[in-house]
């Protein structure tokens, strides 16, 4: 059984060179879709995948990864074995969001009681192609393919059997990690693997929100491939700016509310201080 690994990357940045080398060392080549094109939005990832899936055998297994912030930690045999054990034809990753992170609930729907992440999924090429074509056969959200997927999966009726679709709720294959997630794991240097609290060892990790994963890269021996490490700080700043003002506009309300509260608090403290000082001056003068 052949395993294909694909991503959509219009250019190279962040951890893409590391991911390419990790996949190459496992005997396959990362398929970079859309390279050199203008990025139009996350929906472009799905449309590029539709075109790619038409070119490979329907019984092959394909993995899609967000290439800028994903690392591969296992061999291909483990990926295929874990996928086949699920009995599904397609499996998508989830984000183990903290209950306190309300902005995620404000923007995204849950699927099977979990927040899915469309940046990591695996499936038989033929089924994934049918799934994506069905999902994009009608209108889709041009701002968020996450919304497109969640809305489609939560619809009551489809022309594709969703009994074959599943979510990787235990992160056996895919681990999404960010400050908003409630994951507990350790990097075991002797094994060169991430091991979660329940002993699960994910095959891939995605550092959502430009998470610094240099310690994993160094620990797995790919330091020399990490050619963009010096620009990671600025990429994180750019991401945070975009998250506040574009992706999660409700954060603007929260931040503005905090700033207004802080201003009013400081103004009140200053006014009280000034009034007390004035009263003391009048008392001494009289």
Delimit the domains of the chain by residue range. Answer: 3-245, 251-285
CB 8, CB 2: distance < 8 Å: no
CB-facing half-sphere around the CA of 211: CA atoms within 13 A = 18
DSSP E strands in the chain: the ranges are 3-8, 30-33, 61-65, 70-72, 90-95, 115-124, 165-167, 174-177, 185-188, 193-196, 204-207
191's CB contacts (< 8 A; 6+ apart) are 201
Domain 3-245: assigned CATH number: 3.90.550.10
Specify the pLDDT at position 244: 55
CB 204, CB 6: distance < 8 Å: no
The per-residue pLDDT string of the chain (286 residues; one tens digit each, 9 = 90 and over) reads 799 999 999 999 999 999 999 999 999 999 999 999 999 999 999 999 999 999 999 999 999 999 999 999 999 999 999 999 999 999 999 999 876 555 666 667 899 999 999 999 999 999 999 999 999 998 888 888 999 999 999 998 889 999 999 999 999 999 999 888 889 999 999 999 999 999 999 999 999 989 999 999 999 999 999 999 999 888 888 876 665 555 555 455 555 667 777 777 787 777 777 677 665 555 555 4
CB 90, CB 61: distance < 8 Å: no
pTM: predicted TM-score of the whole model, two decimal places: 0.84
């Amino acid at each position: 059984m052949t395993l294909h690994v694909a991503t959509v990357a219009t250019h190279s940045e962040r951890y893409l060179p590391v991911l390419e080398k990790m996949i190459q060392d496992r005997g396959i080549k990362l398929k970079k879709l859309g390279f050199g094109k203008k990025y139009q939005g996350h929906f472009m990832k799905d449309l590029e995948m539709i075109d790619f899936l038409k070119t490979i055998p329907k019984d092959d297994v394909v993995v899609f990864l967000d290439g800028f912030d994903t690392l591969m930690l296992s061999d291909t045999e483990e990926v295929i074995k874990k996928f086949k054990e699920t009995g599904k034809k397609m499996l998508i990753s989830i984000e183990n969001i903290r209950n306190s992170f309300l902005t995620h609930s404000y923007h995204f729907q849950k699927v099977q009681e979990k927040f899915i992440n469309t940046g990591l999924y695996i499936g038989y090429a033929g089924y994934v192609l049918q799934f994506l074509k069905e999902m994009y056969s009608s209108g889709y959200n041009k701002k968020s393919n996450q919304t497109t997927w969640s809305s489609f999966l939560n619809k009551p009726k489809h022309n594709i059997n969703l009994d074959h679709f599943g979510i990787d709720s235990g992160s056996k294959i895919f681990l999404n990690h960010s400050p908003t997630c409630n994951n507990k794991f350790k990097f075991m240097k002797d094994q060169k693997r991430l091991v979660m609290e329940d002993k699960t060892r994910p095959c891939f990790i995605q550092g959502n929100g430009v998470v610094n994963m240099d310690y994993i890269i160094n620990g797995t021996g790919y330091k020399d491939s990490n050619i963009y490490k010096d620009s990671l700080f600025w990429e994180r700043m750019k991401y945070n700016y975009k998250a506040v003002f574009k992706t999660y506009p409700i954060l603007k309300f929260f931040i503005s509310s905090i700033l207004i509260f802080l201003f009013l608090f400081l103004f009140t403290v200053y006014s009280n201080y000034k009034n007390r000082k004035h009263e003391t001056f009048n008392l001494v003068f009289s």
